[in-house]
Amino acid sequence: MKIETKQLRKTFGKESALEDLSITFSGEKIIGLLGKNGAGKTTFMRILSGHFQQTSGTIAVNEQSPFNHSDVSKNICFIQESNNFYGKFRIDEVLQIAEVFYPNWDKDQAEHLLKVFKLKRKQKVKALSKGMLSALGIIVGLASNAPITIFDEPYIGLDASNRSLFYDLLLQSYQDNPRMFILSTHLIDEISKLFEEVAILHEGKLLLHETTAELAENHLLVSGETSVVDQAIKNKNVIHQTSMLGKKKAVLFGEQLATTDGLEVSKIGLQDLVIYLTKEEVDSL
């Protein structure tokens, strides 16, 4: 599958949710869609799933617009953080509808996952706890086997052990049925090892789109006494720096630097990188 957007914009009245977003996702991989609250992730995923149209620009899934095209939408399963299912339905009715909608639906997998998450077929959606609702979303997303399966923070109410179960099941599902997964999450450290590729949105714009291998390769965290760090990063490509109490941390892009006396150089974790890259505006408030 290939998703391609060109100068995608979405405004809600005066509010701009996406600004000139041009991005391409292709192939079978697990992609992290990251960014702070309000960055535009959900808006992008909704347009991609055909929920509504962009204000301008283009979006194509295998060369077709997702809006009002069932050929496209049956290939996309979008599980949102809430309100996925009609409250009056029972779980078995939700699964029956999903089976009709998704051509690659795996009934045995759905049955298996119901047991794993200890859900009862006759329970009504409106009677489910937050965690149980999330579990139902996860079951539908995984059993859909949709070539593009999207999870937008699907873990609301799930405890740590069930979140860990979700990550294991996701990986298993990906191995059994390789496809494109797009995941939006704020619990980056928990899941970052599953990502092959990461896109970071910031204020409706694309800040970065790289493979996780490139990210690890390209970004270094340098810390130590301010004067030592300042000396070390002089003339280097610094993409973020913060100072506090005589200490400094800097993030370098595409540079080589080794740890020395008083200077700590390390790879930077994805969660920290997202925080550093999207922090500037907060600092300048």
Ligand X SMILES: Nc1ncnc2c1ncn2[C@@H]1O[C@H](COP(=O)(O)OP(=O)(O)OP(=O)(O)O)[C@@H](O)[C@H]1O
- Give the footprint of ligand X on this chain (CB under 6 A): 12, 15, 17, 35, 37-43
CB 113, min distance to ligand X, A: 25
Q: How far is the CB of 55 from ligand X (least distance, A)?
A: 12
Residues 223, 241: Cα–Cα separation, whole Å: 10
Residue number with CB closer to ligand X (15 or 108): 15
Q: Which is nearer to ligand X, 35 or 141 (CB)?
A: 35
Pick the closer one to ligand X by CB: 43 or 49: 43
Q: Given strand 56-61, what is the order of strands in its sheet? A: 15-26, 2-12, 56-61
Smallest gap from residue 39 Cβ to ligand X (A): 4
Contact status, residue 18 vs residue 43, Cβ threshold 8 Å: yes
Q: Using CA atoms, how far apart are residues 78 and 149, in angstroms rounded to an integer?
A: 6
- Cβ-in-10-Å burial (0-12, 13-18, 19+) of 198 comes to buried
Nearest to ligand X of 144, 184 (CB atom) = 184
CB-neighbour burial class of residue 283 (10 A; exposed 0-12, middle 13-18, buried 19+): exposed
* 225 Cβ neighbours under 8 A, 6+ residues apart: 246, 247, 248, 262
Residue 12 near residue 26, CB atoms below 8 Å: no
**Token pair of 98 as six digits:** 């999903």
Handedness of CA 110, 114, 120, 126 (dihedral sign): negative
Q: Which two tokens stand for residue 27?
A: 């192939």
Q: What is the DSSP string of 221-277?
A: EEEEEHHHHHHHHTTS-EEEEEEETTEEEEEEES-----BTTEEEEE--HHHHHHHH
- The distance of closest approach from Cβ of residue 116 to ligand X in the complex, given in angstroms and rounded to an integer, is 27
Least distance CB 275 / ligand X (angstroms): 14
For ligand X, the closer of residues 42 and 218 by Cβ is 42
Minimum gap (Å) between residue 17 Cβ and ligand X: 3
Parallel/antiparallel/unpaired status of strands 197-202 and 56-61 = unpaired
CB of residue 13 vs ligand X: minimum separation in angstroms?
7
Closer Cβ to ligand X, 51 or 74, answer by number: 51
When the beta carbons of 13 and 246 are compared against ligand X, the nearer one is: 13
